[in-house]
Structure 1
């Protein structure tokens, strides 16, 4: 019997309340590990740590999910913060960048989700649009705090995204930032109707895929199953 692959998922590091407690916590919506488990993987949470620990952590993983969360520090891509930008979380920025670099070096499959896709782009030297409504003229990607909305995305034929998700379909979205200039070696592999980059990938680099939407918020397992399959079988 083939052992289930170990898939690491990055987490928030923030203050939270539960029961009688109000403490700083490493946390993650349960839908992330649940989807990895349903896709056939073993899920493990990766709270922020010192960047120097990333290599040792990734050496024990079969796959990596860079989860959603706070805005990246715009200083990482040479910009001053927009008035609507969230407070940076430098320990998470440093940790996830180090994890991604180690995963790319080792050929460990990577799936970036929302913020995770933005980490992938910035790590490759790309930039972000800090407030999407300024660019597209509407707030359809994030109409209400704390809720997901749905819109259509169109995969690009001939890409890994297009192979896994060959037809236009609806996705769960909640973001106010997006990819602006693509990082070196990356290609856009899906778009929203308004032109927003909804997926990116690294051709020829194994399974390295980022999506701006939240697959864990819906029942479609195709992306997570593909990550788990790549973790077991190797590059697509």
Structure 2
């Protein structure tokens, strides 16, 4: 049996009307990024409903990663799955990383309001803040989102912002939970700094 950490990863929901199917999907690059952390990926189905608790108990992931894709409200089953994952992580003391929509879900779960943002889809921009100056957060990132946070959620601290002031990274003050608004898996070469930070957060190394 492998002793590598097992990270539960939420999946996007793709509607395929021509086949009357709702498909769970996960970018293969994100699986590769998790492998680069030294962990194994455990994609979480969105159709488990009340069976999710038993599924988590049986497979016992060691961390949770909320992936990108879908705006909150686009897929009620995904929204429910991710809310349940966060509740499980809080009870079990598991670390969590939210990427793009995943960071928005962390904020939403904490009661924060999401607002539309312009100029953040399909582009790159610099980051600013003490975490950037210290080298803990990249100085420039990709950007693929149309929604941002109106304010920092209760219980969280801001790590970095975009030049327009929108929050790009945050950490929970008490839990090992963190959110990044960019996609580290979409870089041509995975950033060593991001891998090291995620490894420390999710694996504790």
| Normalised TM-score (structure 1) | 0.75
Instruction: Summarize the Cα distance change of 1:57–1:184 in structure 2 as closer, same or farther, 3 Å threshold.
Output: farther
Instruction: Summarize the Cα distance change of 1:48–1:225 in structure 2 as closer, same or farther, 3 Å threshold.
Output: farther
2:162 corresponds to: 192
CA distances 1:65-124 after superposition (whole Å, capped 9, x unpaired): 101111113xxxxxxxxxxxxxx2111111101101211221111110010001000101
Q: What's the offset of the Cα at 1:4? A: 1.0
| Normalised TM-score (structure 2) | 0.85
Q: What's the offset of the Cα at 1:36? A: 0.3
Instruction: Summarize the Cα distance change of 1:182–1:99 in structure 2 as closer, same or farther, 3 Å threshold.
Output: same
Q: What's the offset of the Cα at 1:203? A: 1.3
Instruction: Summarize the Cα distance change of 1:192–1:112 in structure 2 as closer, same or farther, 3 Å threshold.
Output: same
Equivalent position SS for 1:188: strand
2:146 corresponds to: 176
Which residue of the other structure, out of 45, 63, 86, is the alignment partner of 1:100?
Answer: 86
The farther-off stretch of 175-184 and 33-42 is 175-184
2:117 corresponds to: 132
The farther-off stretch of 51-60 and 184-193 is 51-60
Instruction: Summarize the Cα distance change of 1:199–1:50 in structure 2 as closer, same or farther, 3 Å threshold.
Output: same
1:82 corresponds to: none
| Contact kept? 1:9, 1:45, Cα under 8 Å | yes
Equivalent position SS for 2:127: strand
Alignment: residue pair count: 201
Q: What's the offset of the Cα at 1:188? A: 1.6
Equivalent position SS for 1:72: coil
Cα distance in structure 1, aligned partners of 2:137 and 2:202: 25
The farther-off stretch of 116-125 and 23-32 is 23-32
Instruction: Summarize the Cα distance change of 1:62–1:221 in structure 2 as closer, same or farther, 3 Å threshold.
Output: farther
The farther-off stretch of 218-227 and 107-116 is 218-227
The farther-off stretch of 177-186 and 105-114 is 177-186
2:123 corresponds to 1:149: yes
Cα distance in structure 1, aligned partners of 2:102 and 2:193: 18
Instruction: Summarize the Cα distance change of 1:168–1:216 in structure 2 as closer, same or farther, 3 Å threshold.
Output: closer
Structure 1 residues not aligned, in runs of 5+: 74-87, 134-138, 143-147
What is the correspondence of 1:49-64 to structure 2 with a 5 Å cutoff?
A: 49-59=47-57, 60-64=60-64
| Contact kept? 2:6, 2:61, Cα under 8 Å | yes
Structure 2 residues not aligned, in runs of 5+: none
1:215 corresponds to: 184
Q: What's the offset of the Cα at 1:225? A: 4.0
CA distances 1:40-61 after superposition (whole Å, capped 9, x unpaired): 1111211213453444444411
1:80 corresponds to: none
